[in-house]
């Protein structure tokens, strides 16, 4: 079935809009014709096809092309590839057809954008394989990644038409990989929108609440911003700067993330905005000098916070970001962050790679972005590994703050924040990492596990007899280090399996127990192993010790190792629900009860009744594991195995009356009797059992952990709200 006259009008309107955007990139008739040929082929290939929302499919590639031009700043070839990006995947056209019609470059870009099809290994993830293929195009053309991000942005903008399980899969992929990738490529505006859209679909109620609260407080916030900026404007006008100054409000997602991380209400988020000054630089003095001049002007007016100065002009971030950030004390005792940057820096900050390329000074120059691409290409061309592992390692190179450290000869190297001396050793060379035994940090001998700090000078001490250990995977934080360690360990894996089998058999003989499948099934979960090969490998590599094997076998005798709780999947409502009789309601209630199933609760996040939950079908055990909707591990699983997300909404059974163990973190000002006050509230007012309380006090400040048995989230929140009212309690937040 073809498109209607109304559809054709809509397509023409969007096509004309794209052509208008292309006026800034088309230099001649050849460019225009190239884009038009791509459009007409895409129109013919997708003829009559509609998206799930009902609109003509052709509107999607047009929208992706427009994002590529307007929001990323890409050129003619990228527009052509954007228009054609789904043609090979969804129609009869092949990559060879693309090469014949549009040339080799467009064909390779379209191929990179085409989802993998066919047979996949049973032990890997289709999504991870697809991501790997897309990322491999970094070795050839980074524009493919940028178009893929534009494609994802448009899909996220139209996600409302998708069913719940597809929304969870797509938002999981987006928050796990695409938002960090946009961040790493310098696309801050797109990264922020992707995060906000993820929240809008996963947590719509919280999204709407924060959006409303931002709107309600806008007038007061703007009044303060005007008051703060007034003396700065006077000073910059006096110094003849050509500038723009404005307040930039935090994104809804970043506000929500901070509320979740610190478990505080919206009203306690004090850094809701930052002041940004963007100015047009003059040829002399240097941009750097002009930025520092504005900084000096501001700190003449407001006192700076010494530990909050960030100089990304002298040492730009790896994605090319340059700016000077300072936090100053504004009127009414409010700390305010001020960002200072030139128009060139602003373009790079908002448009990322495309602007970075535009401003490159010379063909031979290698900047921080080029160095990062070189590292990624080296990783992509490294030893082959499972696609899921590859994706996890790549992920480590994305969302990280950076530090600058120095070699013994004074060469500066950028490392992710949180890196250890071991990461630094592998950053220099895998052989140095494999043989590392220690480090001299600022000429002082330190263990290889030591976390390094910005400004450290590091010398790695090696030994020919040293070799990577399995526990190094817990020490290493960078993808490069983890990949090198895993590669070394894999070479020894077979030896470890044989050694582990022998060690376990010997231990079982000592205990006079016959080793069989039944015994192995008891042992594997205790050692966090999903199969016997993994168990043997861990034993052979020394990751686990068999010293406590006898105790484990005794503890597990006569009881199940896995925990199951009862959930139900709500039945879809009948269209005549509003006129439903009591009898029908009773039938629906019994349908819910019949639909109750036993699902396994995830150990990573320990959901309790009242938590919003999502089901994930484990591909190996085929059991449904229930995660909190906010769980980071769920996002990883959704990104890598999205087809295993359970389609239906899962809710806690209303029939069960049980107690669930939760832990909370306490912090406050110590005083006599505070523990008695807390115990009185928990046990007396709420009749809640305390399993454990562990408090340490030092110099008048106490902090510790509290374990309680609660019925559900509602009762937990109620007791925590009451505890917050106790004199001396500064913060209390749930940790598990």
What whole-number distance in Å separates Cα of residue 74 and Cα of residue 143? 8
Confidence at residue 2, expressed as pLDDT on a 0 to 100 scale: 66
Last residue within a domain, chosen from 612, 627, 652: 652
| In contact, 438 and 458? CB cutoff 8 Å | no
Answer whether residue 358 is part of any domain: no
In this structure, the answer to whether residues 670 and 642 fall within a common structural domain is: no
Residue 236 has pLDDT above 90, yes or no: yes
Average pLDDT estimate for 626-630: 84
Q: How far apart are the first and last CA of the chain?
A: 54
Kindly give, in sequence order, each residue whose CB lies less than 8 Å from that of residue 724, ignoring residues fewer than 6 positions away: 732
Confidence at residue 516, expressed as pLDDT on a 0 to 100 scale: 73
Question: Residue 672 maps to which CATH number?
Answer: 3.30.70.260
What whole-number distance in Å separates Cα of residue 101 and Cα of residue 122? 37
* SS3 of the chain: helix, strand, coil, percent, to 5: 50, 15, 30
In this structure, the answer to whether residues 70 and 58 fall within a common structural domain is: yes
SS3 state of residue 241? coil
What confidence tier does 676 reach under pLDDT thresholds 50, 70, 90?
confident
Name the catalytic one among 13, 44, 89, 216: 89
Residue 422 has pLDDT above 90, yes or no: yes
CA dihedral 51, 52, 53, 57 (to 10 degrees): 0
Integer angstrom CA distances of residue 337 from 187, 260, 261, 308, 334? 21, 22, 21, 9, 10
Overall number of domains in the chain: 6
Residue 242 has pLDDT above 90, yes or no: yes
What whole-number distance in Å separates Cα of residue 293 and Cα of residue 236? 10
- Give pTM, 2 decimals: 0.66
Q: Is 90 a catalytic residue?
A: yes
Query: How far is C-alpha 435 from the chain's CA centre?
Result: 32
In this structure, the answer to whether residues 311 and 448 fall within a common structural domain is: no
**Angle, helix 287-301 to helix 218-238, in steps of 10 degrees:** 120
What whole-number distance in Å separates Cα of residue 606 and Cα of residue 625? 11
436 is in which domain, residue-wise? Answer: 400-491
Residue 336 has pLDDT above 80, yes or no: yes
In this structure, the answer to whether residues 342 and 314 fall within a common structural domain is: yes
Q: Is 370 a catalytic residue?
A: no
SS3 state of residue 442? coil
Confidence at residue 262, expressed as pLDDT on a 0 to 100 scale: 80
What confidence tier does 625 reach under pLDDT thresholds 50, 70, 90?
confident
SS3 state of residue 567? strand
Confidence at residue 166, expressed as pLDDT on a 0 to 100 scale: 83
Confidence at residue 363, expressed as pLDDT on a 0 to 100 scale: 42
Confidence at residue 294, expressed as pLDDT on a 0 to 100 scale: 94
Answer whether residue 134 is part of any domain: yes
- Beta bridge partner(s), residue 406: 412, 457
Integer angstrom CA distances of residue 106 from 109, 127, 727? 5, 24, 67
Last residue within a domain, chosen from 446, 463, 491: 491
In this structure, the answer to whether residues 76 and 125 fall within a common structural domain is: yes
- Alpha-carbon Rg for the chain, nearest whole angstrom, is 29
Q: Which residue has the higher pLDDT, 672 or 654?
A: 672
Confidence at residue 100, expressed as pLDDT on a 0 to 100 scale: 92
What confidence tier does 371 reach under pLDDT thresholds 50, 70, 90?
low
Answer whether residue 198 is part of any domain: no
What whole-number distance in Å separates Cα of residue 199 and Cα of residue 196? 5
What whole-number distance in Å separates Cα of residue 270 and Cα of residue 328? 14
Last residue within a domain, chosen from 289, 320, 351: 351
Answer whether residue 479 is part of any domain: yes
CA angle 197, 201, 204 (to 5 degrees): 105
Residue 176's nearest CA partner among 625, 648, 631 is 631
Name the phi and psi angles at 458, rounded to 5.
-125, 130
In this structure, the answer to whether residues 150 and 9 fall within a common structural domain is: yes
What whole-number distance in Å separates Cα of residue 80 and Cα of residue 184? 25
Average pLDDT estimate for 402-423: 84
Answer whether residue 543 is part of any domain: yes
Q: Which residue has the higher pLDDT, 479 or 75?
A: 75
Kindly give, in sequence order, each residue whose CB lies less than 8 Å from that of residue 455, ignoring residues fewer than 6 positions away: 404, 405, 406
What whole-number distance in Å separates Cα of residue 108 and Cα of residue 195? 30
In this structure, the answer to whether residues 575 and 648 fall within a common structural domain is: yes
Residue 299 has pLDDT above 90, yes or no: yes
Out of 22-26, 248-252, 474-478, least confident range? 474-478
In this structure, the answer to whether residues 643 and 510 fall within a common structural domain is: no
In this structure, the answer to whether residues 213 and 269 fall within a common structural domain is: yes
What confidence tier does 668 reach under pLDDT thresholds 50, 70, 90?
confident
Answer whether residue 370 is part of any domain: no
In this structure, the answer to whether residues 647 and 685 fall within a common structural domain is: no
pLDDT (tens digit, 9 = 90+) per residue, 147-200? 888 999 999 999 988 888 888 888 888 888 788 888 877 788 899 999 999 999
Residue 400's nearest CA partner among 184, 149, 634, 176 is 184
Confidence at residue 360, expressed as pLDDT on a 0 to 100 scale: 52
Residue 385 has pLDDT above 60, yes or no: no
In this structure, the answer to whether residues 536 and 573 fall within a common structural domain is: no
pLDDT (tens digit, 9 = 90+) per residue, 485-532? 887 877 777 777 888 888 888 888 888 887 777 677 777 777 777 777
Q: What percent of the chain has pLDDT over 70?
A: 81
Name the catalytic one among 90, 459, 665, 670: 90
DSSP 94: -
- Beta bridge partner(s), residue 660: 710
Answer whether residue 193 is part of any domain: no
What whole-number distance in Å separates Cα of residue 83 and Cα of residue 63? 9
In this structure, the answer to whether residues 90 and 151 fall within a common structural domain is: yes
Question: Residue 412 maps to which CATH number?
Answer: 3.10.20.30
What confidence tier does 275 reach under pLDDT thresholds 50, 70, 90?
very high
Answer whether residue 602 is part of any domain: yes
pLDDT (tens digit, 9 = 90+) per residue, 86-135? 898 888 888 899 999 999 989 988 887 775 333 333 344 555 565 665 56
What whole-number distance in Å separates Cα of residue 188 and Cα of residue 183? 6
Confidence at residue 375, expressed as pLDDT on a 0 to 100 scale: 60
| In contact, 98 and 52? CB cutoff 8 Å | no
Question: Residue 222 maps to which CATH number?
Answer: 3.30.460.10
| In contact, 340 and 323? CB cutoff 8 Å | yes
Question: Residue 50 maps to which CATH number?
Answer: 1.10.3210.10
pLDDT (tens digit, 9 = 90+) per residue, 4-57? 888 889 999 999 999 999 998 898 999 999 999 999 999 999 988 888 888 899
């Amino acid at each position: 079935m073809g498109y209607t006259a109304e559809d054709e009008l809509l397509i023409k309107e969007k096509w004309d809009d794209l052509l208008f955007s292309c006026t800034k990139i088309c230099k001649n008739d050849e460019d225009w014709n190239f884009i038009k040929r791509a459009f007409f082929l895409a129109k013919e290939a997708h003829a009559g096809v509609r998206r799930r929302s009902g609109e003509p499919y052709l509107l999607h590639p047009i929208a992706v092309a427009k994002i590529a031009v307007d929001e990323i700043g890409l050129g003619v070839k990228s527009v052509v590839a954007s228009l054609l990006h789904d043609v090979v995947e969804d129609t009869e056209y092949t990559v060879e057809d693309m090469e014949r019609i549009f040339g080799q470059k467009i064909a390779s870009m379209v191929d990179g954008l085409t989802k993998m099809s066919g047979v996949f290994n049973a032990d890997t993830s289709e999504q991870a394989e697809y991501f790997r293929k897309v990322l491999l195009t970094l070795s050839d053309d980074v524009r493919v990644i940028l178009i893929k991000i534009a494609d994802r942005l448009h899909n996220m903008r139209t996600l409302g038409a998708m069913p719940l399980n597809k929304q969870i899969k797509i938002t999981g992929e987006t928050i796990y990989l695409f938002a960090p990738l946009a961040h790493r490529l310098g696309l801050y505006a797109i990264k922020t929108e992707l995060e906000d859209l993820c929240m809008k679909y996963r947590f719509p109620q919280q999204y709407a609440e924060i959006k409303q609260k931002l709107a309600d407080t806008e007038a007061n916030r703007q009044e303060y911003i005007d008051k703060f900026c007034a003396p700065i404007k006077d000073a910059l006008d006096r110094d003849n700067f050509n500038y723009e100054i404005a307040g930039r409000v935090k994104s809804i997602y970043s506000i929500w993330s901070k509320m979740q991380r610190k478990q505080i209400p919206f009203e306690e988020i004090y850094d809701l905005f930052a002041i940004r000054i963007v100015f047009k630089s003059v040829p002399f003095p240097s941009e750097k000098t002009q930025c520092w001049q504005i900084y000096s002007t501001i700190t003449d007016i407001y006192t700076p916070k010494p530990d909050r100065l960030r100089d990304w002009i002298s040492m730009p971030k790896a994605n090319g970001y340059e700016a000077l950030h300072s936090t100053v004390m504004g009127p009414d005792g409010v700390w305010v962050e001020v960002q200072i940057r030139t128009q060139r820096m602003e373009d790079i900050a908002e448009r990322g790679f495309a602007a970075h390329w535009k401003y490159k000074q010379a063909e031979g120059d290698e900047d921080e972005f080029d160095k990062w691409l070189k590292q990624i290409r080296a990783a992509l061309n490294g030893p082959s590994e499972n696609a899921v592992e590859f994706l996890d390692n790549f992920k480590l190179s994305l969302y990280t703050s950076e530090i600058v450290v120095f070699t013994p000869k004074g060469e500066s190297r950028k490392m992710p924040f949180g890196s250890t001396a071991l990461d630094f050793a592998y950053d220099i060379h895998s052989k140095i990492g494999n043989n590392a035994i220690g480090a001299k940090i600022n000429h002082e001998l330190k263990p290889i596990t030591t976390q390094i700090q910005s400004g450290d000078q590091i010398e790695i001490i090696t030994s020919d007899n040293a070799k990577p250990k399995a526990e190094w995977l817990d020490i290493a934080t960078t993808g490069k280090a983890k990949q090198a360690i895993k590669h070394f360990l894999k070479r020894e894996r077979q030896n470890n399996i044989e050694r582990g089998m022998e060690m376990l058999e010997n231990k079982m003989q000592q205990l006079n127990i016959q080793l069989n499948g039944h015994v192995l099934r008891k042992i594997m979960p205790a050692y966090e192993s999903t199969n016997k090969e993994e168990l043997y490998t861990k034993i052979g590599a020394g990751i686990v010790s068999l010293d406590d094997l006898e105790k484990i076998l005794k503890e597990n005798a006569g009881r199940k190792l896995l925990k199951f709780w009862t959930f139900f999947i709500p039945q879809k409502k009948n269209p005549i629900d509003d006129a439903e009789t009591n009898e029908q309601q009773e039938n629906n209630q019994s349908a819910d009860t019949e639909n109750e199933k036993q699902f396994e609760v995830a150990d990573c996040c320990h959901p309790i009744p009242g938590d919003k939950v999502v089901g994930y079908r484990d591909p190996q055990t085929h059991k449904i594991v229930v995660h909190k909707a906010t769980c980071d591990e769920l996002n990883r699983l959704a990104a890598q195995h999205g087809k295993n997300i359970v389609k239906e909404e899962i809710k806690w059974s209303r029939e069960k009356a049980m107690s669930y163990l939760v832990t909370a973190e306490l912090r406050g000002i110590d005083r006599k009797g505070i523990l008695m006050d807390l115990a009185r509230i928990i046990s007396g007012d709420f009749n809640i059992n305390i399993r454990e309380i562990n408090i340490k006090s030092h110099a008048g400040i106490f902090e510790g952990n509290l374990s309680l048995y609660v019925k559900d989230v509602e009762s937990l929140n109620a007791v925590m709200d009451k505890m917050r009212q106790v004199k001396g309690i500064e913060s209390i937040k749930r940790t598990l």
